[in-house]
Amino acid sequence: MCDTLVALPSATASGATILAKNSDREPDEAQAISIVPRRICHEQYCTATFISLPQVAETYACILSRPFQMWGAEMGVNEWGVAIGNEAVFTRVRILRNNTGLTGMDLLRLALERSKTAWEALLNIIQLLETYGQDACGGYRNKRFYYHNSFLIADAQNAYVLETVDRHWAYRRVDACYAISNRLSIGTDADALSSGAAAFARAKGWWSGAQPLHFSHAFSDWLYTGLGRGKARQACTYNWLIANQGKLTAAHFFDVLATHHLPHPQFKPAKATTADICMHATGLLNPNSTTGSMVAHISSASPPVVWLTGTPHPCMSVFVPFVFGAEIPADWLTPTAQPDHSLWWQAKRLQDWVAKDYPKRHAWLEETRADLQHHIWQQYQQTPADQLAQLTYETLLAVRQWLAKCLSQSTCQIYAQAQ
């Protein structure tokens, strides 16, 4: 489960594009942040998660947030200011589960590495989708988790929503704002459809042909789509965008990504549902947690700034501004399968403790978390663009120190309660 939303320049306070995403995955699947340099490629093939495909002559620099064990990425931005987030969507088309295709995360990274504009990224994903398909497991421990994908693709001027069913697809251009979730949302308003989509739906008996093809009605699997409550989450984020058009900043997106279905202090992680934007796993019907978050600020006047948590649950996290050229110790942002000293696992340790008495402990944590986030935002606004790489390092260091202090204080509280 995930949620991605975008506001184009006409809808933001700064006149920049802002694209944001919560990545919802299995709760112990750590998420890494990778700053991948531009590269001249001499190898003949590129190796994705399950398959290899012909490599291009040059790949562009990217800032990626990705499951630690995967080649592909959940979300990211490239040096040209192209930003993409993807979603799992559940359709009526059976997946063979042979791992002979590309994951949605593979498609996302490949498009970022090979595209200078959102339009070019859209065309790259379509070409790769039609060539290789999506028969690729997207799960971590759940090896039966296969799905199709939707994408929100943006640059400094334009954005597109692309929704897919096997090798079929539909896309539409975004006017000012858009949000996607774990459901097909394009109806009869597609700007274009894959050449075989209508005939395929007609042959399956999913469309009569009497009216224009409604992409979502024809292809959605209503059971899994309904259980995921993507319609409710999409309505939440889209209505928020519309209500705040013209005044949106990256900081506003930090807040919406931390939204639950109940306000604080009524919300409790043990009672979380799939209607939450900031997800907390509770079991079989709600198996995913938010494991990473991104807010990308993309302007034609300056290099992109990619705000990432690198930690689970934005309701207990701090967004850090990443830029190209930042140099970060690798072990800070590269977690492994087991708890380690990475930012992700240290945050999870603290957040697991907070969740045991969420209303009380979250209030305690929020006092310092909100102050730190405000301080980072103020520093960002005052820092010249050519000094932002140093700010990335300083901000990450401050977040690590804050986590260490909070963990120390939480340990002291546990000890005091035991006496």
Q: Give the active site residues.
A: 2
Amino acid at 108: L
Q: Residue 136: helix, strand or coil by DSSP?
A: coil
Distance CA 280, CA 288 (A): 7
Which amino acid is it at 152?
A: L
Structure-block tokens of residue 48: 């994705």
Q: In this structure, are residues 384 and 294 in contact, taking their beta carbons and an 8 Å threshold?
A: no
CA distance 263 to 359: 10
Q: What share of the chain is helix, strand, coil (3-state, %, to 5)?
A: 35, 25, 40
Which position has the token pair 């006047």? 301
Q: Give all strands of the β-sheet with 302-308 in edge-to-edge order.
A: 177-180, 2-7, 17-25, 289-299, 302-308, 320-322
311 SS3 class = coil
* 360: CB partners within 8 A, 6+ apart: none
Closest-CA residue to 112 (of 43, 56, 168, 54) = 56
Region of residue 132 (phi > 0: left; psi between -120 and 50: alpha; otherwise: beta): alpha
Start-to-end CA span in the chain (Å):
42
Instruction: Single out the residue of 188, 181, 178 nearest to residue 216, CA to CA.
Output: 188
